[in-house]
Chain A
Amino acid sequence: MDQALVVPDREDFIATKGKQKKQLKCDADSIAGCVSQRACVYCGARVVLNPVTDAVHLVHGPIGCSTYTWDIRGSLSSGSEMYRNSFSTDLKEQDIIFGGEKKLLACIDELVQKYQPPLIFVYSTCIIGVIGDDLKSICKQASKQYGIEILPVESSGFIGNKSAGYRAACDTLLHLIDLGKESLHQVSSQRQAAKQINYLGDFNLSGEAWIIKGYLERMGVKINVAFTGDSDSQHIKKAPDVDLNIIQCAGSMHYLAEKLEELYHIPYLQVSFLGLQDTANSLRNIAAMLQDETVAAKAEQLIAEESAKVKPDIDFYRSKLVGKKAAIYVGGGFKAISLIKQFREIGIDVVMIGTQTGRQEEYETIDTLVDDGTVILDDANPAELEKFMIEQEAHILVGGVKERPLAFKLGKAFIDHNHNRKHPLSGYVGAVNFAREVYTTVCSPVWKYLSK
């Protein structure tokens, strides 16, 4: 590092490619007072489960947790809009003292009467863990009483970070799948009939899952259920009915894929539909995994057609952007990896890259991909982002809502890679959208006025 970090405890979380051979520290608790950009367990769980469209999402806790997460994600639905509401037991001082179980039951009663939902997720928040409400038994009891699925999500905020929340969400999904077991008959014989796969780790932001679904259909592959973009309780229960699971967002869904392999012997494949190269590779790999030559042939045809279609656009943007430098700070490691490649496709090199919840293997991959001198950091904070964006002379930052104003204040361009984006970034369409967004921000005339 050229200049010592202000908080020495953070040294191990930061590395410069090529300079030293040390292992980056990750997956540890955030250091107090470091203004981490990371969220909590509840947040992780909510992100993953929120797109389940026909579920009532009931937050058991005080009002804030529910307010701040109300319909802030751009997941789209082809059916129910129930998931866009935010329900809370809205605990008050009295409930904290005497326990919130009674209120929770009363809320469930009300919700069942008003909406007759097929499924209710009950999220536990920070204080539920402390006051000791027995979510499990309440949900079980209510489930029995009403004959619908009412599932607890163990997402007390302080027991870990966002990754723990992903796991809690996956456990809840597994529970739901397990409940549907009886309705699945002769799983194995059905599997041979048609090529069916589950698509894990796409939340259908701006219709991204629909785009991928379209590609696969053109290849003669049917998506059984997407986790969790535009999914519903009925379809989720049919998850074991497939030949293959593919995972887009690894951070949130790797665990679910492993479990599904263990329990239902479904193999899985890591894919990425961010960028031209990754999209093409992923489609090919799916065909290979399914060991089907017609599928493979159709995949090649699709890749050829779609690549040709977007080439002029990508070439145009590339010509405008070549030579610029990018900084990346996103949630998961896998997304970060895809972004490095995607930037290369439009002529941009990455000079700083970090994630909130990246895993060791992902950081290793990142290290092999980036050029010497690139700064790699885990669980960064605004002060570090500021320092490295300036030192590394980045022109553009990719990140979430919290990082945007910082980039703008530093006079840098910015790309939103967050859950409330309004245009898809997946597949060939997404690759063009990405390039266009980079172009709109990097090549805006406003920057000229800042240096005056």
Chain B
Amino acid sequence: MGGLLNLSRNVNENPCNMCMPMGAILALKGIEQAMVIIHGSQGCCTYMRRHIAEHYNEPIDVGSSSLNEKGTIYGGEKNLKQALDNIRRVYHPRMVGVITTCLAETIGEDIRRIADDYLTERKLDDLFIVTASTPGYGGSHTEGYRFTLRKIVEQLVEPATRHEKINLIVGDLSTADIRELQRLLAMMDIEYVMLPDVSDTLDRPYSSHYDKLPPGGTRLSDIRTMSGAAATIEIGITMPDELSAGKVLEEKFGVPLYQVPVPIGVDNTDRFLAVLTEITGKIVPEGIQGERGRLLDAMVDSHKYNFEGRSVIFGEPDLVYAVTKLCCENGIYPVAVATGSQANKLSQALEPLIADCPQPVQCLNGSDFASIREVAEARGANLAIGHSDGRYLEERSHIPLVRLGFPIHDRTGGQRLLSVGYTGSANLLDRLTNTLLENKYKTYRRDMYEEFYQHEAK
């Protein structure tokens, strides 16, 4: 392995990550009838809404306490309470997630206290307010996402009697991926609580009636009883313990925790299903076995093309890990693997994966696109895999980009990309192979001409 590139630079040139509250919104959007209020200045909220709307093509309503100069100097309690009043009036949420921004954190707002006061003052016993401190400088959106899930569990789960269901805590995957996981669980006849569940809320079907809060999302009653589950499967292996919601359930309620990689690729999907079997005793049905066989068949069909691939993979750490695995399984060996987050566990986890790669693999932690581009070019990458912000790799370095993850704002249908499970993996693999092929067909006539054609004197 090429070792960890030490970024001694100060300036971040073309960011590869977003800020904490962004992740918090995404997590909260997967809870039944929940609204979000960002405590801070107006702009953060507008930007994040715009970004999410462009990826999901869904209305993304998020309230802001619209802190102005006065609120910044004298405290924003009044603003936040007014925001709660107005949000309740218009949206009638069953839960409100209150999160902070850089500004609110810097002036030291105690949102939990304000929320509790609010509930007492207004005598509300049927509204839940989950609070999470998510300063933009405190970490990337990935940390914001995980931290908020943990807060949801800490603040909502109550002691419950044992039951058969399993908890499935998921990362920030596409809505198609979420639906695929649900399909697999249904095929295995397993009951579950999925946290969060954005499959409907961020990809709602068209209907002649418009609801301000879309139906769907994890039911609050289900969240409350996650403490009684047979086990928790948490999808994600790169988060530190203090950001894990599964750990809370394990430590506080004794629910056994299994942390698994995102089920992309043969091994990772095998592992996911094996854990399901281990917990429930249910065997993987024939239907799913068939899908596995089809994935293997696809891998064989495309292996020669794939072996020419040299990938650069970037984005959210857990997705990066899983995609790296899929690449390694197919000979699309990575030359660089990068994340904008500070994910120390990622490089550890990657080590055994990339040990067998024919070329050294550069791992970039807390990276920006200036570094990613530099390394990708230097190492001769011919395939980039990650979200839309990597578009310069394509535009300026002519490394074709296969879009995956969040945000995808320069193509449509990012939320419908299917990449998990055997079927999703085959799907993703096809996208990768076809990109390699397309690029090859586009250039081989010219390349060969330039390399071999010799002028003959007539």
Binding site for B on A (CB under 8 A): 6-7, 9, 29-43, 58, 61-70, 72, 85-93, 95-96, 103, 106-107, 109-111, 125-127, 129-131, 157-161, 381-383, 386, 400-402, 404-406, 408-411, 450-451
Contacts and interface: CB of A to CB of B under 8 A. Distances in A.
A123 B458 CA distance: 65
Contacts of B371: none
Interface stretch (B57-65, B191-199, B317-325, B440-448): B57-65
Contact of A64 (B19, B63, B68): B19
B137 A6 contact: no
A158 B106 contact: no
B86 A110 contact: no
B122 interface: no
The 10 A-B residue pairs with the shortest CB-CB distance in the complex, in nearest-first order: A40-B43, A64-B19, A33-B83, A33-B86, A68-B47, A32-B83, A90-B12, A158-B41, A62-B137, A107-B11
A451 B61 contact: no
B64 A36 contact: yes
Nearest to A109: B10
B216 to A, nearest CB: 14
A135 to B, nearest CB: 16
Contacts of B106: 96, 126-127, 130-131
Given A39-B46, A61-B102, A158-B42, 4 more contacts: A32-B66, A33-B64, A43-B46, A158-B68
B90 interface: yes
Contact of A126 (B14, B61, B102): B102
Given A43-B47, A63-B18, A64-B44, A89 B12 contact: yes
Contacts of B40: 126, 158
Contact of A67 (B17, B63, B69): B17
Interface in B68-87: 68-69, 71-72, 79-80, 82-87
B48 interface: yes
Contacts of A9: 86
A158 B69 contact: yes
Contact of A33 (B12, B50, B71, B85): B85
Contact of B10 (A63, A110, A160): A110
A106 B47 CA distance: 28
B13 A85 contact: yes
A401 B409 CA distance: 11
B165 interface: no
A39 B43 contact: yes
A39 B101 contact: no
Nearest to B10: A106
A402 B87 contact: no
B115 to A, nearest CB: 14
Contact of A157 (B44, B83, B86): B44
Given A29-B68, A157-B42, A405-B53, A130 B18 contact: no
Nearest to B18: A67
21 contacts: A7-B86, A29-B68, A30-B42, A35-B64, A35-B87, A40-B42, A85-B13, A87-B11, A88-B12, A89-B10, A109-B10, A130-B72, A158-B41, A158-B68, A158-B69, A158-B71, A382-B59, A382-B61, A401-B50, A405-B56, A405-B58
Contacts, number: 225
A107 B59 CA distance: 37
B43, B44, B60: residue with the most chain A Cβ atoms closer than 10 Å: B43
Contacts of A64: 18-19, 21-22, 44, 47-48, 102, 136
A6 B8 CA distance: 53
Contact of B66 (A30, A107, A126, A451): A30
Contacts of B449: none
A7, A9, A158: residue with the most chain B Cβ atoms closer than 10 Å: A158
Given A31-B66, A33-B63, A64-B18, A58 B140 contact: no
Nearest to B206: A450
Contact of A63 (B42, B47, B136): B136
B21, B41, B65, B85: residue with the most chain A Cβ atoms closer than 10 Å: B41
Contacts of B90: 6-7, 34-35, 381, 383
B221 interface: no
A124 to B, nearest CB: 12
Interface in B344-360: none
Contact of B136 (A38, A62, A87, A383): A62
Interface in B82-114: 82-87, 89-90, 101-103, 106-107
A147 to B, nearest CB: 20
Given A61-B102, A409-B206, A67 B15 contact: yes
A34 B43 CA distance: 14
A89 B11 CA distance: 5
A125 B103 CA distance: 9
B181 to A, nearest CB: 25
Nearest to B71: A158
A195 B254 CA distance: 81
B57 to A, nearest CB: 5
Contacts of B43: 39-43, 65, 126, 157
A36 B101 contact: no
A32 B12 contact: no
A87 B212 contact: no
B208 interface: yes
A40 B98 CA distance: 20
Given A39-B42, A88-B12, A157-B42, A402 B19 contact: no
Contacts of B180: none
Contact of B63 (A35, A41, A87): A35
A110 B9 contact: yes
Contact of B82 (A33, A37, A125, A406): A33
B67 interface: yes
Interface string B407-437: 0010000000000000000000000000000
A58 B65 contact: no
Contacts of A159: 68-69
Contacts of A91: 137
Nearest to A100: B137
A446 B40 CA distance: 40
Contacts of B53: 401-402, 404-405
B89 A7 contact: yes
Given A64-B22, A127-B106, A96 B137 contact: yes
Nearest to B137: A62
Given A35-B63, A67-B19, A410-B210, A86 B82 contact: no
Contact of B72 (A6, A158, A400): A158
Given A40-B43, A126-B101, A70 B63 contact: no
Nearest to A107: B11
B370 to A, nearest CB: 8
B124 to A, nearest CB: 15
Contacts of A131: 106
B37 interface: yes
Contact of B11 (A58, A69, A400): A58
A35, A89, A161: residue with the most chain B Cβ atoms closer than 10 Å: A35
Given A96-B137, A382-B59, A33 B42 contact: no
B99 to A, nearest CB: 13
Contact of A36 (B42, B51, B58, B206): B42
A37 B46 contact: yes
Contacts of A106: 10-11
Contacts of A381: 90
A394 to B, nearest CB: 14
A157 B59 contact: no
